[in-house]
Chain A
């Protein structure tokens, strides 16, 4: 029997505000525990929340980016549950009147096709603190750090419009791209800036009736998300084909052990007893406010992709990759501006630089190679001063902090020889010194001669200490050997 998979996502996005959603405490990442948790975040008696204007604006900006209705009147509810990292005993969130209503996100798939994913709504809420179960403290306790408590979030809820892991990942990446492009989230997945809950169900192919879904919570990387979806789909099909039924439950996926398990049923018995938060009045958003935010909305990834194709002559594919990451897109544009060679700027930004950053776990904004430095390197590649191979050495030098491309080329004597007189002499010398190879070449069947060129190239490059311009040598070599036939 074949099965259809139905996937919906809930995405928690930490907003890049300076302060908490309801207090003036800093949200800067990585501070000492509880040094950014003020009386409001700690739910001290007598404190009252005051809503952060920027958090509201960021939520509206997201709504505009996905072409959603913006709630002119939105309201906050209390979601009641007990956990030590939630000092108030409730999370302040939105239920009945979220700030962002229905919207749409278009995703691109590997085969080049596109698909629309509907957004059910997005709402504002506060993050909880962190519970630590191991540390420098008595092991019969848990440690609570409330620095994160009260960090503003938007929770984006999709319709169940995705039908496999690839689509879910494409959607998650698109949301990442949108929120970083409009600057409402730093997108640092390793710091928990975006977290995903995945709702998965399966049904017999073509059936109109949805199967029972499970929710796998708190996935914090695209890789874990993909694994978790694939495993959950396989598990559900196994259970059903063995005659079982799927229980509606919340599951946790451990990315290290690659095992998902059901949360205890006691934790499952959630009855949040939502009610309107008496401490917060309705939030009114004026048309003027929305229009001003719309006017100032930064460029969206799709628009940037189109512009990169038109302005820089990049392929749709390259433009898509570069524009999906706001920091990388800005970097590329800066490189391109300085070196005036968009094609090479794109190749180096997406190739050598991205690979190296990925390896070192760095983001584009922390690149040890500045856009100006990379542009300096590209200028020397474009004017044939250095070969592609030398360029990689120079890149390593810049990465290591040895200076600019020109300084490294000078210091290491990496200048490429492109003077045709000198190159012709070099080729002639090598041919004269290797008569046996030349004879062999002449005696070889024409169709196989091409393969023999590599041996000569190696000797010539060796003779030039790697400094000969390989394209030119290739030409001269072919020409000289032809003359001998």
Chain B
């Protein structure tokens, strides 16, 4: 099973991943094989089985609403490509 070229291009755009001409057919094949796996899963009879998003029968632990994080801006911005006046700078995004 393979996926249409248009579909691959759309997914690449949505995922902000650059896929060049030469690899498109390979990516298409590989994604197709993932979909085949999904098809196999979908063939299983799930009548009366409630969908679950996690394999564990357990629930989310909750945190108390207390401040536990301190200001570590300097350390966190030390690894950013570009900062100024405490802001992270990114290529201009304006609508």
Q: Give chain A's interface residues, CB within 8 Å of chain B.
A: 17-19, 23-26, 32-40, 42, 44, 50-56, 75, 80, 82-84, 131-133, 135-146, 252, 263-264, 267, 271, 273, 276-278, 280-284
Residues of B close to A42: CB separation below 8 A: 76
Residues of A close to B66: CB separation below 8 A: 18-19, 24
Residues of A close to B86: CB separation below 8 A: 32-35, 145
B65 touches A280 (CB 8 A): no
A197 nearest CB across to chain B (Å): 16
Residues of B close to A139: CB separation below 8 A: 92
B95 touches A141 (CB 8 A): no
How many angstroms between the C-alpha atoms of A52 and B62 in the bound complex? 6
Q: Tell whether B71 is near chain A: CB-to-CB under 8 Å.
A: yes
How many angstroms between the C-alpha atoms of A55 and B60 in the bound complex? 13
Residues of A close to B59: CB separation below 8 A: 281-284
Q: Tell whether B30 is near chain A: CB-to-CB under 8 Å.
A: no
How many angstroms between the C-alpha atoms of A267 and B86 in the bound complex? 28
A133 touches B94 (CB 8 A): yes
Q: In the complex, what residue of chain A is closest to B71 when comparing beta carbons? A: A35
How many angstroms between the C-alpha atoms of A38 and B76 in the bound complex? 8
Residues of A close to B67: CB separation below 8 A: 18-19, 24-26
Q: In the complex, what residue of chain A is closest to B91 when comparing beta carbons? A: A141
Chain B CB count within 10 A is highest, among A50, A51, A271, A282, for A282
Instruction: Decide: A140 near B91, CB < 8 A? Known: A50-B61, A280-B60.
Output: yes
B95 touches A267 (CB 8 A): yes
> How many residues of B are in contact with the other chain, CB < 8 A?
36
Interface residues of B in 40-95 (CB under 8 A from A): 53-54, 56, 58-69, 71-73, 76-77, 82, 84-95
Instruction: Decide: A135 near B60, CB < 8 A? Known: A35-B71, A142-B93.
Output: no
From the candidates A35, A52, A145, A276, name the one contacting B53 in the complex (CB within 8 A).
Answer: A276
Residues of B close to A277: CB separation below 8 A: 53
How many angstroms between the C-alpha atoms of A146 and B90 in the bound complex? 13
Residues of A close to B58: CB separation below 8 A: 281
Q: Give chain B's interface residues, CB within 8 Å of chain A.
A: 10, 14, 16, 53-54, 56, 58-69, 71-73, 76-77, 82, 84-95
A75 touches B88 (CB 8 A): no
Residues of B close to A39: CB separation below 8 A: 72, 76
Q: List 22 A-B contacts (CB under 8 A).
A: A18-B66, A24-B67, A24-B68, A25-B69, A32-B73, A34-B77, A34-B87, A50-B62, A50-B63, A51-B60, A52-B62, A53-B64, A54-B64, A56-B62, A75-B53, A84-B93, A138-B84, A141-B92, A143-B89, A144-B87, A280-B60, A281-B56
How many angstroms between the C-alpha atoms of A349 and B30 in the bound complex? 69
How many angstroms between the C-alpha atoms of A303 and B72 in the bound complex? 46
A137 touches B85 (CB 8 A): yes
Q: In the complex, what residue of chain A is closest to B93 when comparing beta carbons? A: A142
Residues of B close to A271: CB separation below 8 A: 10, 14
Residues of A close to B91: CB separation below 8 A: 140-142
B14 touches A136 (CB 8 A): no
B60 touches A263 (CB 8 A): no
Residues of B close to A138: CB separation below 8 A: 84, 89
How many angstroms between the C-alpha atoms of A144 and B66 in the bound complex? 25
Residues of B close to A52: CB separation below 8 A: 62-63, 65
Closest 5 CB pairs of A and B: A24-B68, A276-B53, A143-B87, A54-B65, A53-B62
B95 touches A252 (CB 8 A): yes
Instruction: Decide: A133 near B89, CB < 8 A? Known: A34-B77, A53-B63.
Output: no
A353 nearest CB across to chain B (Å): 33
How many angstroms between the C-alpha atoms of A42 and B78 in the bound complex? 13
A277 nearest CB across to chain B (Å): 8
A143 touches B65 (CB 8 A): no
How many angstroms between the C-alpha atoms of A36 and B56 in the bound complex? 33
B90 touches A38 (CB 8 A): no
From the candidates A54, A135, A144, name the one contacting B90 in the complex (CB within 8 A).
Answer: A144
Q: In the complex, what residue of chain A is closest to B75 when comparing beta carbons? A: A39
B93 nearest CB across to chain A (Å): 5
Residues of B close to A142: CB separation below 8 A: 89-94
Q: In the complex, what residue of chain A is closest to B87 when comparing beta carbons? A: A143
B95 touches A278 (CB 8 A): no
How many angstroms between the C-alpha atoms of A140 and B93 in the bound complex? 9
How many angstroms between the C-alpha atoms of A252 and B14 in the bound complex? 22
B62 touches A51 (CB 8 A): yes
A283 touches B60 (CB 8 A): yes
Instruction: Decide: A34 near B56, CB < 8 A? Known: A18-B66, A142-B92.
Output: no
A136 touches B84 (CB 8 A): yes
Residues of A close to B71: CB separation below 8 A: 35-36
How many angstroms between the C-alpha atoms of A132 and B63 in the bound complex? 32
